[in-house]
Amino acid sequence: MSTKNNEMTIRPNGALQILSKQEANQLCDHSDTGLNDLLRRCSLAVLNTGNNIDCGEKLLEMHPDFDIKVQSRGRGIELIICNPPESAFIDGEMLEGLREHLFAVVRDLVYVRNNITDSGLFDLNDSAGITNAVFHILRNAEVLRTNEEPNLVACWGGHAISRREYEYSRHVGIALGERRLNICTGCGPGVMKGPMRGAEAGHHNQRFTNRRYIGLSEPGIIAAEAPNTVVNELVILPDIEKRLEAFVRLAHGIIIFPGGPGTLEELLYILSILLDPKNTQHPYPLVLTGDKGCANYFEEVKYFISQTLGQTALDRLNIQLDNPDDVASFMKQQMQVIKKDRIQTSDAYYFNWQIHIEADLQKTFEPTHQSMRALNLTKAQPAHLLASQLRCAFSGIVAGNVKAEGLRAVAQHGPFELCGDPEIMAALERLLNFMIEQKRMKIDAENYIPSYRILKTTQ
């Protein structure tokens, strides 16, 4: 790394990453068709790791002079960074993990634009085409490992959590690590960091060297979930839907900790898949867990699921309180179930091709006032389809809380409006009010103003 005034030049260590002149120009292009705005936002979030901010717009306002450019040299590429956050450096040297994350951002933004969205090779309006795109993105990022048996657990949960809940998630991570299981999370703070930090200790206790701490993010959410420094494999998917599909295809089981609307979005996403009649024969372990202080949280979640999706969905909620060892032991046992199933179905260990994901879960949902109002939040449909619609409702609330486009839409036109069956609306309002009381909506919870409005009846 070399410096000049407030300008720093960063080069990748190890094998040099190669970009063409055209790709470097794309990353420097400030126009609507260029990638510089995405690169600037994602890079600033990466360099902001450890800071308590979950709003991309606020982050940009705090660093108005931050800029990043890419140059293609004969021997590789250089990142020229202007006015980066001081927290990204130790004695003038950038943290090595952040350097790796920066080049992961460059890799994924270029690949997705040129090889996925603009290549014409993938039909992104077709379910199989979307799954194929997710596979290619993960393969390009080199996170698909063909010679490893099932051992990857995805951990979902909130970034705005108490220290007590963080410590519990860390203890679960220790128990997973001691059973030689690896971790995949949304890569940010809170519950996304705790299991990784714990797994580090568990892996060390076992002298386990194949340590994987995979972080999956996307440009719209990365500012709210800046990658933590434990992550050693970072992938930036193009949107939340492909990110969620990547979790399900890549991981062999899921643990969900308490969280806010983003966590409910994730829970409803996996429930929509598990409730789909096409998936009844496919094992996929799911556990909801927290310490004993989270009992009321899970009671509220159970009530919401019972009032919206019914008993069949409620039966899929495997809730285990205050026992990290039981959670980890269950996941370890389930890895053998997954292995046996993949052998019998000739499916890959490294990518779950066989599980069916409905097109409604795959296609990008853009939260606007029109699309939020148009959601079908009624029981006149199969439970797995209602779960998909509820997933979109929570996705829109997340957007209105922390994503730049959602924040602008709410500021300009007021809160998003949600309407549907009275019973569903009442349960939704109750759960959201509970999350506000528990300060789970976002980090700046004291000043939280709802980004949504619940209408009591279908209008």
Whether residue 287 sits in one domain with residue 217: yes
Whether residue 225 sits in one domain with residue 156: yes
Residue 36 has pLDDT above 80, yes or no: yes
pLDDT above 90 covers a percentage of the chain that reads 69
pLDDT bracket for residue 21 (50, 70, 90): confident
- Cβ(184)–Cβ(192) under 8 Å? no
Residue 271 has pLDDT above 90, yes or no: yes
Whether residue 339 sits in one domain with residue 259: yes
As a whole number of angstroms, the distance between CA 189 and CA 170 comes to: 12
Domain-embedded: residue 155: yes
Phi-psi group of 28: left, alpha or beta (phi > 0 → left; psi -120 to 50 → alpha; rest → beta): alpha
Residue holding tokens 């699921």? 305
Residue 321 has pLDDT above 80, yes or no: yes
Domain-embedded: residue 196: yes
Whether residue 385 sits in one domain with residue 444: yes
pTM score of the predicted model: 0.93
End position of a domain, from candidates 319, 345, 371: 345
Whether residue 279 sits in one domain with residue 174: yes
Sign of CA dihedral 293, 297, 302, 307: positive
As a whole number of angstroms, the distance between CA 136 and CA 119 comes to: 13
Q: What local confidence, expressed as pLDDT, does residue 235 receive? A: 96
Residue 458 has pLDDT above 60, yes or no: no
What the block records as the tokens of 130 is: 């979307």
Phi-psi group of 91: left, alpha or beta (phi > 0 → left; psi -120 to 50 → alpha; rest → beta): left
Q: How far is CA 228 from CA 189, 216, 378, in A?
A: 6, 11, 39
Best CA proximity match to 134, nearest among 351, 369, 381? 351
Domain-embedded: residue 116: no
Residue 13 has pLDDT above 70, yes or no: no
Residue 3 has pLDDT above 60, yes or no: no
Residue 248 has pLDDT above 90, yes or no: yes
Whether residue 366 sits in one domain with residue 316: no
Whether residue 405 sits in one domain with residue 375: yes
Strands 152-156 and 182-185: parallel
- Cβ(186)–Cβ(162) under 8 Å? no
- Sequence-ordered list of residues with C-beta below 8 angstroms from that of 261, at least 6 positions apart, any chain: 394, 397, 398, 401, 432, 435, 441
- Burial group, residue 115, by CB count within 10 angstroms (0-12, 13-18, 19+): middle
pLDDT average, residue stretch 359-373: 95
Domain-embedded: residue 13: yes
Q: What local confidence, expressed as pLDDT, does residue 84 receive? A: 87
What the block records as the tokens of 396 is: 């829109």
pLDDT bracket for residue 459 (50, 70, 90): very low
Whether residue 340 sits in one domain with residue 231: yes
End position of a domain, from candidates 99, 132, 159: 99
pLDDT 10s digits, 159-183:
888 999 999 999 999 999 999 999 9
Domain containing 22 — which CATH number? 3.30.1850.10
Whether residue 376 sits in one domain with residue 446: yes
Best CA proximity match to 231, nearest among 335, 96, 56? 96
Q: What local confidence, expressed as pLDDT, does residue 14 receive? A: 52
Q: What local confidence, expressed as pLDDT, does residue 211 receive? A: 97
Domain containing 170 — which CATH number? 3.40.50.450
Residue 22 has pLDDT above 70, yes or no: yes
Q: Other CB atoms closer than 10 Å to residue 248's CB: what's the count?
A: 18
User: With helix as H, strand as E and coil as C, how does the chain read?
Assistant: CEEECCEEEECCCCCCCCCCHHHHHHHHCCCCCCCHHHHHHHHHHHHCCCCCCCCHHHHHHHCCCCEEEEEEECCEEEEEEECCCHHHEECCEECHHHHHHHHHHHHHHHHHHHHHHCCCCCCCCCHHHHHHHHHHHHHHCCCCCCCCCCCEEEEECCCCCCHHHHHHHHHHHHHHHHCCCEEEECCCCHHHCHHHHHHHHHHHHCCCCCCCEEEEECCCCCCCCCCCCCCCEEEECCCHHHHHHHHHHHCCEEEECCCCHHHHHHHHHHHHHHHCHHHCCCCCCEEEEECHHHHHHHHHHHHHHHHHCCHHHHCCCCEEECCHHHHHHHHHHHHHHHHHHHHHHCCCCCCCCCCCCCHHHHCCCCCCHHHHHCCCECCCCCHHHHHHHHHHHHHHHHHHHHCHHHHHHHHHHCCEEECECHHHHHHHHHHHHHHHHCCCCCCCHHHCCCCEEECCCCC
End position of a domain, from candidates 320, 345, 370: 345
What the block records as the tokens of 63 is: 């660093």
pLDDT 10s digits, 186-217:
988 889 999 999 999 999 999 999 999 999 99
Residue 51 has pLDDT above 80, yes or no: no
Residue 271: domain span: 145-345
pLDDT 10s digits, 65-86:
888 888 876 666 888 899 888 8
Q: What local confidence, expressed as pLDDT, does residue 123 receive? A: 94
Residue 1 has pLDDT above 70, yes or no: no
Domain-embedded: residue 408: yes
pLDDT above 70 covers a percentage of the chain that reads 93
Whether residue 273 sits in one domain with residue 193: yes
How far from chain centre, in Å, is Cα 366?
16
As a whole number of angstroms, the distance between CA 116 and CA 105 comes to: 15
Q: What local confidence, expressed as pLDDT, does residue 50 receive? A: 63
Domain-embedded: residue 353: no
Residue holding tokens 């779950």? 352
Whether residue 374 sits in one domain with residue 337: no
Whether residue 158 sits in one domain with residue 38: no
Q: What local confidence, expressed as pLDDT, does residue 225 receive? A: 74
- Cβ(158)–Cβ(197) under 8 Å? no
- How many domains in the chain? 3
Domain-embedded: residue 308: yes
pLDDT average, residue stretch 133-144: 97
Average pLDDT for the chain: 91
Q: What local confidence, expressed as pLDDT, does residue 16 receive? A: 45
Angle among Cα 323, 326, 327 to the nearest 5 degrees reads: 85
Residue 444 has pLDDT above 80, yes or no: no
pLDDT bracket for residue 357 (50, 70, 90): very high
Domain-embedded: residue 115: no
